[in-house]
Structure 1
């Protein structure tokens, strides 16, 4: 059946509607087609009382004393979201209100975790936004203490995408030792010391982590005992900083499951320093390791394979590191001993000399779901051999072969074979 039209032709309206029988409100008759006929009706006593409560809520914050849920919902749907946050958080926990607060302030932003409480999403973004825009010269520990007393009970995740540098030779940023030590519920921390905007105050090195920054962050990490996920990205680390972070994470974050050091210029020597600090009992719960773009060579691949051998790594990303075919071979030699589900070795200077080990991995591995080997010089002949054996793998769901000198049609044929695995558990 076709959809009904959204408008009515004028001639059809005149044919079926007798305007003489339609009385207007001005003649004290009900206009049956006027949907706003009751707009002039006085509100009920219930609405008058609830509106009065809303109007005076900042002085008398009544909510829990109201017996009916429908009346509570009316207040939560109409209460001013710009009241002091301490007053609101003290008396209101309901998602219906904090959802409205969040969307009123950040209209084009949506939390990644749909199951998280809205009050937590609001407090996390509010604190992150404040820290990102706070200039070090304006940092006041007493004021920060008052802010954390309100926000800390609700903050489980803190995502800092940039920081404001100080405008002096020290290049220090907002200290994180005091902040992290007060976030008792924190389990995820993402932080970067890059500066996105500093106007005309730019000077060389202003967007770098200073020794004081590293010391303060390490002190804070030593007190985040429940931290499960740590990400430090786009921040250059020197050798003393790397050793300090290794000690702090090992000492203060025993339950860490995810470690991300992306674009940190760690280098081979830095990774060796990091490994030497750790013991066989360090990071025993680590499942996710991301080391993208850190200037690693074959040397780091060897140390990395020794590190992950005794851990239950499920997600490994070493993309954009020139480890070469020999480094990839070292990684492949240990991958079969892990419950690996995601492996990314894209743009790692790998060539067709890896063919034998690569084909063996694709045939034998029974846990790998997603394998990214794009942006490497594999060649079309290796692509043909992959196509011949890929049907033996009943687990792999995605094999990324873009920019590998394998013909587009051949890559599509490989993808079509793997597509059958997506319906399998």
Structure 2
């Protein structure tokens, strides 16, 4: 027998590619100029989406491609950590929310063209439900002038107050995001290094006014968090004026700011004219007058479920006012009063609350000076309670016996809740 040995030992007969595969490869190569997806058969569509580059221009892919696999590749191309549980388990939502967040966080007033934001709106408006803005850049600081230049400038335009908007103007964006439900803001600059200045970490009055107007126009907003931004009484009152009667806002977080009694009075007014379910005013400057204003509304409120006034200056007058309100309120579930300079007098009022109120589920009185007698009063009140499943009285100078008794009642209530849930599940 005769054999023919090929010159190339690795040579083998090449199968000629199918015409359909050649066409699909051509579609992938020319997708940016002529995007074709929906017209393809299901199998061909999957092939094209798998081969497409994750860095194609968004004006081509945003409203054309809905395949989650493609947007997963886009996310992993840009970010090392991708937790879609924070984004409704949607890769596309995650991509556009993080992309828009980055545009806003890098926006420099007076330098960045607002068109960079406005051009993105039609591409992402259907997919952005939550924005978490972790920094907002101020305008670039102009070089300091000499004394002669300052004199001549003051003589020529004596009332100039600087730029019209000190940070990014949310008025150009929020009313266009028709599906936005959550907005988290911090007016600060990350990684400022040696360029640190205190005014990099605060919201200005002009910022506050433009933001307040934008919030009023965002009718779908449910959650607003504005913290660590030096919001004082005046700015708080300005925000509240625009949030009154908001149709969808249910959670407001103004923690870690500078809000005092006047701002707290405005918050009390907001509770009376809103559907708020969660209010967080932790770490502000609220004293007893502010607490009394909030408690006055709380006694009549029927929507609020959680109130956080930790790390303020309520004192006994403020604490007692909140307690008296809870003798009339039957809807609040969670109350946090940690670190408010409260003593035995407040504990006595809350003893009555624990005895009478059957709706409260958790209460935090830690880091107050309740004392031994205050602990005994709380022990007596909670002994008749069947609803409290969390009670924090750490660092309150309560005796161990009272603390143990309170803890035992809480455990019994927790067991009762677990048994009820098990019975309900068995019934279903």
- TM-score calculated relative to the size of structure 2: 0.79
Q: Tell me how far 1:139 sits from its aligned partner.
A: 2.5
Verify: 1:417 aligned to 2:412, yes or no. Answer: yes
Give a deviation string over 1:290-338, Cα, whole Å, max 9, x none: 1111111111111001223333110111111121233122112222413
Q: Residue 221 of structure 2 corresponds to which residue in structure 1?
A: 227
Verify: 1:310 aligned to 2:284, yes or no. Answer: no
Change (3 A) 1:92 1:72: same
Q: Residue 139 of structure 1 corresponds to which residue in structure 2?
A: 112
Contact conserved, 1:313 with 1:338, CA < 8 A, in 2?
no
- TM-score calculated relative to the size of structure 1: 0.79
Change (3 A) 1:353 1:286: same
Verify: 1:260 aligned to 2:258, yes or no. Answer: no
Measure, in 1, the Cα distance between the counterparts of 2:375 and 2:21: 71
Q: Aligned ranges for residues 233-252 of structure 1 at < 5 Å?
A: 233-250=227-244
Verify: 1:95 aligned to 2:86, yes or no. Answer: no
Change (3 A) 1:287 1:302: same
Q: Residue 17 of structure 1 corresponds to which residue in structure 2?
A: none
Q: Aligned ranges for residues 338-357 of structure 1 at < 5 Å?
A: 338-357=330-349
Change (3 A) 1:206 1:385: closer
Unaligned runs of 5+ in 1: 1-39
Unaligned runs of 5+ in 2: 1-12, 143-161, 422-428
Report the secondary structure of 1:184's partner residue: coil
Measure, in 2, the Cα distance between the counterparts of 1:309 and 1:131: 41
Match of 1:298 among 288, 300, 308: 288
Change (3 A) 1:115 1:206: closer
Give a deviation string over 1:364-420, Cα, whole Å, max 9, x none: 332222322222223456546655664643332222233223449837645543441
Measure, in 2, the Cα distance between the counterparts of 1:115 and 1:273: 34
Change (3 A) 1:112 1:335: farther
Choose 180-189 or 105-114, whichever is displaced more: 105-114
Contact conserved, 1:50 with 1:71, CA < 8 A, in 2?
yes
Q: Tell me how far 1:138 sits from its aligned partner.
A: 2.4
Q: Residue 83 of structure 1 corresponds to which residue in structure 2?
A: 56
Q: Residue 319 of structure 1 corresponds to which residue in structure 2?
A: 310
Q: Tell me how far 1:166 sits from its aligned partner.
A: 1.8
Q: Aligned ranges for residues 130-169 of structure 1 at < 5 Å?
A: 130-168=103-141
Report the secondary structure of 2:415's partner residue: helix
Measure, in 2, the Cα distance between the counterparts of 1:205 and 1:93: 43
Q: Residue 148 of structure 2 corresponds to which residue in structure 1?
A: none
Measure, in 1, the Cα distance between the counterparts of 2:386 and 2:183: 36
Contact conserved, 1:192 with 1:234, CA < 8 A, in 2?
yes
Measure, in 2, the Cα distance between the counterparts of 1:144 and 1:104: 22
Contact conserved, 1:257 with 1:286, CA < 8 A, in 2?
yes
Measure, in 2, the Cα distance between the counterparts of 1:389 and 1:305: 21
Contact conserved, 1:259 with 1:290, CA < 8 A, in 2?
yes
Verify: 1:117 aligned to 2:111, yes or no. Answer: no
Report the secondary structure of 2:101's partner residue: helix
Give a deviation string over 1:192-233, Cα, whole Å, max 9, x none: 112222234333423222222122112212211222221211
Verify: 1:60 aligned to 2:51, yes or no. Answer: no
Contact conserved, 2:267 with 2:294, CA < 8 A, in 1?
no
Change (3 A) 1:155 1:310: farther
Verify: 1:369 aligned to 2:361, yes or no. Answer: yes
Report the secondary structure of 2:126's partner residue: helix
Contact conserved, 1:396 with 1:421, CA < 8 A, in 2?
no
Change (3 A) 1:77 1:331: farther
Measure, in 2, the Cα distance between the counterparts of 1:198 and 1:392: 55
Q: Aligned ranges for residues 29-44 of structure 1 at < 5 Å?
A: none
Change (3 A) 1:368 1:51: farther
Contact conserved, 1:139 with 1:174, CA < 8 A, in 2?
no
Q: Tell me how far 1:137 sits from its aligned partner.
A: 3.2
Q: Aligned ranges for residues 265-304 of structure 1 at < 5 Å?
A: 265-273=258-266, 275=268, 280=272, 282-283=273-274, 285-304=275-294
Contact conserved, 1:193 with 1:209, CA < 8 A, in 2?
yes
Aligned pair count reads 381
Q: Residue 169 of structure 2 corresponds to which residue in structure 1?
A: 175
Contact conserved, 1:314 with 1:338, CA < 8 A, in 2?
no
TM-align CA RMSD: 3.0
Q: Tell me how far 1:92 sits from its aligned partner.
A: 0.8
Give a deviation string over 1:273-302, Cα, whole Å, max 9, x none: 5556x595x21x111111111111111111
Contact conserved, 2:28 with 2:48, CA < 8 A, in 1?
yes
Report the secondary structure of 2:119's partner residue: helix
